[in-house]
Structures are given as C-alpha cells and as structure tokens.
Amino acid sequence: MRKVDPDKQLRTPFQSILDSFREEDKDLPRPLLQRFSDLDPASLKAFLGTWPDVPLKRKKLFLASLLDLLDSDTLVSFDALGRSLLSDPDAVVRAGALRLLSESDDPKLIPILINIMQKDPEIKPRTEATALLGEFVMLGELEELPQDKQRLTEQALLSVASNSEPAELQRSAIEALGYSSRPELEALIASAFHRQDPDWIKSALVAMGRSSDERWEDDVLGMLLNENPRIRRAAVEAAGQLNLDDAGPILIRLLEDEDDEQVISSAVWSLSEIGGEDARVYLQAMLDRATDPDQIDFIEDALDNLTFTDELNQFDLMAYDPEADDEEEKENRSS
C-alpha cells in the first residue's frame, strides 16, 4: 500500500484538493480533510464553486468523513463549511451540514435553526436543527446565553413539542427541552413516558437524564432492564447523568448478560458517573479481561472519570453542613 506523506498534503494547494475532490475514485486522506477546517473566505468561495459539480454520492461520503474527523479531532472546526451548505438542495446534505455545527455556540445560529426546524420540507434536517437547539437550551441553563435568546429557543421548541407536528419532530423537541428548567417540561416528559410507544419512552428518558431532576429516579430505574435495547440504553445513560446510586448494582447485573455493544458502553460510562467502590472493582475486572485496544482505552477513560466522580462526591460530602440544614429547617417551620 502506498504511504501517504502528510507534510506533502499540507503543502498541496487548496484548488488542487478541490480538483481531485470532484473525482469519486480519489481518496481524501485525513490530512486533506483537515484542510477543510476553518476555511477562510477565499477558500470557502472556491469550495462552493466546486460543490455543484461533485457527484451526490461523493458529497455524502465527504460529509460523513468530516463528521468522523470532527468526532475524533478536537482541533478542527467545520462551522464555515456547515453554514454554507444549510440551503443545499439535498436533504441528506442539509442534515449533514447541521451536524457539522454540533460544536458551535454562536447565538446567531438560533434563528436559522428555528427556521429550519419549522419550515424545512424534509424531516431529517428539521430533527437535526431541533437537536442543535437543545445545545443552546443547555447553554442558557448554564447562563452562557443571553436570556432573550434562551426564551426564543425554548418557546420555539415548546411550540413544536406541544402542537400537531410529526411525531419524530415532537420527540426531538422534548429531548432538546430536557435541559430546560421551564415548568411546562414536567408534563411533557410525563406524557411522553406514559405513551405505549418505545420511541416516546426513549425520548422521555433522554429528557429525564438531561433534566438533572431526581424526581424521575423511579421511572429511570424501572426501565434499566427493559427488553427494548433503545429504551435500556436511554435509561442507562439517564441513570448516569442523574448520578443514581441505586442504579449501580442494576448496571453491574445488566453488564453480566448484556450483548448490545451500545448498551454496554453506556453502562460502563454511567457506572463511572455514579461512582463507588463496587463500580471501580467491576470496571477494573473488565479492564483486566479486555483484549481489544479500543475497549481498553475506553475502560481506562471510564476509570479515570470514576476517580473524578469519587473525588467530587467526597468534596460534596466534606462541604455538607448538617447544622446549617437544621437551622434552615427550623426557619422554615417558624415561618
């Protein structure tokens, strides 16, 4: 196999990359894909001039490759490229362009995303835009977004979640609103959870996990061993996000018999978020048995995260002042 010289590819003129980009049989190795990160205006203009001549199959493969790179390389950003493709004629391309914006925190995107969520003719771009709006809801809860932008985002999502929109879009809106502290959300989550439909239950569990609200503990615990793997996985992830101590033994029992790789990965990570000595012993035993390099790396990351969780829990315990709680309770009784 011919070796790729990354230094040579970094020196390749961008126009030469675009010329080969048109040809379906030519590979775009990782160093060349990295050249599409943080495009300057001139390069973006050249890219858009080439894009209409690129075969659709090549476009989809290119976007999938960029998304893989975005997941694995924290130094790349395809925001400029993603924004430029939001009006592409193909729905799959538009959806891929939205996913390229998953790391963006620019509030100027909010009205654009709302417009796509409400008006795009295809469901996939609408659900992708809805999911991205959820990230801005989270930023609002963290006080990293202006309040007017947070209200605009939440109101648009509530409208979709509450009205006669396609079910897939409604579910996506409920998931996106999971980060919100709006009072309307409790009823929306409960209604979705009690529907006799796995897709709605899964979306409710996603929202429960994002809510940081332990009122959902019993509902989440009750779904950890559900026969549907998508529901199991959503419940497992919610248990970790909510740091449910009672979920720890259930997750360990689940891992003994689980054969769904995604559920296994989610359970391992949730154990690391819950913490505790039992979780550490179990994950260490998993690590000792593991032979696959990727699995070893993942379990080691989980053990590192578990250490962080335990240190955080210990800090919270040290900071806890029962006398202050007693004083607060006395004040509440007297008032």
Domain boundary assignment for the chain: 94-181, 212-318
pLDDT of residue 313: 84
Nearest alpha carbon to residue 33 among 2, 6, 1, 3: 6
Give the least confident one: 140-149, 282-291, 313-322: 313-322
Structure-model confidence comparison of residues 12 and 73, the more confident one: 73
CB-count exposure of residue 38 (10 Å: 0-12, 13-18, 19+): middle
Confidence of residue 330 (pLDDT cuts 50, 70, 90): low
pLDDT of residue 22: 77
Structure tokens at 258: 């689980």
Alpha helices in 163-276 (DSSP H): 167-177, 184-193, 198-211, 217-221, 229-241, 247-257, 261-274
Kindly state which CATH superfamily the domain 212-318 is placed in.
Answer: Leucine-rich Repeat Variant (1.25.10.10)
With a threshold of 0.85, does the pTM exceed it?
Answer: yes
Task: Encode 71-91: b = buried (16+ Cβ within 10 Å), e = exposed.
Answer: eeeeebbbbbbbbbbbebeeb
